[in-house]
Amino acid sequence: MNITQESDYAIRAILIMVKNPDREILDANTISELGNIPIRFLLKLLRKLTQGGVIKSYRGVNGGYSLNKAPKDINLKIVIEVIEGPICINRCLYDKETCSAGKGDNCAIHMALYEVQSKLIKELEAINFEGLKNGAW
């Protein structure tokens, strides 16, 4: 599994919003500048994050973006899945028919990778933006 640049930028954008509570709504240019994120790329990410319910968008002269949830309720798993889709470290974990050994649920590798994936998901869920804001990690 690889966390793409897209997910990295999305995580940065959310953290910028979390770290600027005095400014409830931030415009895309401000997020872009603070996060050193290319504006065109950021707009694409912000659209995905809005569609995923992580942030809200506001139109107009005073428009911009704000969190749709409390920072403690947004974790890395949520953001990564909004950007990348479901976390799955091997294709046979979501489609048993693709098991190259033809064993489906009876594959030792499948079972071992499922355990790794479960642990990874739990770890990503444990890291929320309230903790990141406070430097807990």
Q: How many domains does the chain have?
A: 1
- What type of residue is 60? G
| DSSP H or E segment with residue 67 | strand 64-67
What average pLDDT does the segment 52-69 reach?
94
Phi, psi (deg, nearest 5) at residue 135: 75, 25
Q: What is the domain extent for residue 18?
A: 5-133
Q: Which residue has the higher pLDDT, 106 or 57?
A: 57
Q: What Cα–Cα distance (Å) separates residue 30 from each residue in 10, 27, 100, 113?
A: 14, 6, 48, 41
**pLDDT at 19 > cutoff 80:** yes
DSSP 26: B
- pLDDT, position 111: 80
- pLDDT, position 137: 62
Q: Which residue has the higher pLDDT, 21 or 123?
A: 123
CATH number, residue 81? 1.10.10.10
Burial 114-134 (b: 16+ CB within 10 A, else e): beebeeebeebeeebbeebee
**pLDDT at 98 > cutoff 70:** no
- pLDDT, position 107: 73
